[in-house]
Structure 1
Amino acid sequence: MSGDCCKSGFSWNGSPVGHETTVAHNKAYVTGDSKSASIIIVHDIFGWTFTNLRLLADHFAKEANATVYVPDFFDGEIIPTDVMDTPEKREAFNIPAFVQRHGKDKRYPEIKAVAQSLKTTFPKVGAIGYCYGAWACFRLGSDPSLIDAISTAHPSLLENSEIDNVKVPVQILSPEHDPAYTPELKEYSNKVIPTLNVPYEYIYFPGLAHGFAARGDVNNTAQKNGLERAKRSAVNFFNEFLH
């Protein structure tokens, strides 16, 4: 996760309709009023305040009949979104150092705690992870007592062992061009997951690149169509496995 792809993209216009709360000691954006299902969005490097993810949460809440949470898993660290469109700031932002500050062993316990907390309230809980957040969804997916279904978009930091251990329905939204979710990882996913006896959906987005589902350019027809297809695909997936 060292390339420019993880820190580039576009901010979307819109006003999120939810509010801020706390879940398992973590600040969180929450939207929706479903009592039957909840969805956790595990954010990318732009964190829990990123407007794009909050807008996606609003869509999921309405279209997948879920109460959707975007918790803060970076202990209050906020990466300004102008990093995406300011070359100097993008160049100065050190991805490896950021990932070291927010390593898996440090962050997964609180991600797990959020899932555990929501499981005490909602009969069904799903999770979707974008970029950085995808590995965490796979880890949650190793324990059906924590989560009922996981979706991931252009995963980064994902390891073979995390793919090996998934035990719940899984969806991968995969662009053609992705230095983080490499051809080798794509091949491994499509070889191994079908042997794990779980429902599996791999959706391919030709011509698109890493980050499109959360940071795509809505003024570019191909990217807009792709991010909307990714959103619809995740909605359909959660409607199937959370209701």
Structure 2
Amino acid sequence: MSSCCVTGFNWDGKPSGKEEKIAGLNTYVAGSNSDVAILMIHDVFGWTFTNLRLLADHFAKEVNATVYLPDFFGGEVIEPAMLSDPAKRGQFDLMAFIGRNTKEIRYPEIEKTARELKESKGYKKIGTIGYCYGGWAVFQLGAKGKGLVDCISTPHPSLLTKEEIDAVGVPVQILAPEHDPQYTAELKEHSLKVIPTLGVDFDYQYFPGIAHGFAAKGDKNDPKQKAALERAKNSAVAWFSQYLHLNA
């Protein structure tokens, strides 16, 4: 991961959901549909990040789903003030943070949460969306043969590998900015070459002139970024609405 993962803008607004526990983890929950769930996997700013909670509220209302945003960083929180404070960003050791939150450490928690949604809470349809850090995880949840989720979506994924792309077995949506040191041109090309051969529905959307992080931390005061983040939100809403509702 790189410095683009800790840059961006905070959004104004007050989330309207609640906090509870799922799979033993603190979780922000929005919505009340007992049949349809969306598991959000956060970026480096974690489960308390207002921007992601506001997105969860949108998905809950616009998709008609219950949205779960759990804490997959073991209680560690990066203050959103870092987004507007270069000095704080300079003091933050991103690689050490990622070392505390490797795939090997966090994926078991992520899979356990998805299983609890499916098996204990009994949701009939489950989708998952991962922002930045969460991008690799949705591909693992959607791997062939797992049967955990019905579709996945990821804006500007980080830490994603070709092997994870090759293994996907459910409908997949990728929201890809032009400028992205994490979801590189090579990974974009690989996705476009391989996923259409896997027998799954595939929605690839390209955002010219837009940079990594836009869908969760874009500048709403910049017309181009605002249009891009709104397009990303609306695209995810349409994707989940198509694949998660029981008459789909």
TM range (shorter): over 0.9
Please name the residue that 2:113 is paired with. Answer: 114
1:180-209 per-residue CA deviation (whole Å, 9 max, x = no partner) reads 100000000110000000000001111100
1:83 aligns with 2:82: yes
User: For residues 224 and 193 of structure 2, what CA distance do their matches in structure 1 show?
Assistant: 29
Paired residue type of 2:226: K
1:64 alignment partner, SS class: helix
1:79-105 per-residue CA deviation (whole Å, 9 max, x = no partner) reads 001111111111111111111100000
Please name the residue that 2:137 is paired with. Answer: 136
Paired residue type of 1:123: K
Name the TM-score, length of structure 2 as normaliser: 0.96
Paired residue type of 1:206: P
User: For residues 148 and 80 of structure 1, what CA distance do their matches in structure 2 show?
Assistant: 33
1:4-51 per-residue CA deviation (whole Å, 9 max, x = no partner) reads 200000010001010000011111000001122100110000000000
User: For residues 169 and 114 of structure 2, what CA distance do their matches in structure 1 show?
Assistant: 16
1:175 aligns with 2:174: no
Paired residue type of 2:3: D
User: For residues 145 and 179 of structure 1, what CA distance do their matches in structure 2 show?
Assistant: 31
Paired residue type of 2:133: Y
- CA RMSD, 1 decimal: 0.7
2:84 alignment partner, SS class: coil
Please name the residue that 1:43 is paired with. Answer: 42
Please name the residue that 1:226 is paired with. Answer: 228
Q: Contact 1:48 / 1:72 at 8 angstroms: preserved in 2? A: yes
Runs of 4+ in 1 over 4 A off after TM superposition: none
Unaligned stretches of 5+ in structure 1?
Answer: none
1:53-104 per-residue CA deviation (whole Å, 9 max, x = no partner) reads 0000000000001000000000000000111111111111111111110000
User: For residues 68 and 86 of structure 2, what CA distance do their matches in structure 1 show?
Assistant: 31
1:144 CA drift (Å): 4.6
- The aligned runs of 1:1-243 (5 Å cut-off) are 1=1, 3-120=2-119, 121-142=122-143, 143-243=145-245
Aligned-residue identity in percent: 59
1:213 CA drift (Å): 0.1
Name the TM-score, length of structure 1 as normaliser: 0.98
Paired residue type of 2:139: F
Paired residue type of 1:99: I
1:139 alignment partner, SS class: helix
1:115-142 per-residue CA deviation (whole Å, 9 max, x = no partner) reads 0000122000110000000100000000
Q: Contact 1:132 / 1:156 at 8 angstroms: preserved in 2? A: yes
* Length, aligned pairs only: 242
Unaligned stretches of 5+ in structure 2?
Answer: none
Paired residue type of 2:188: K
2:8 alignment partner, SS class: coil
Q: Contact 1:144 / 1:168 at 8 angstroms: preserved in 2? A: no
1:128 alignment partner, SS class: strand
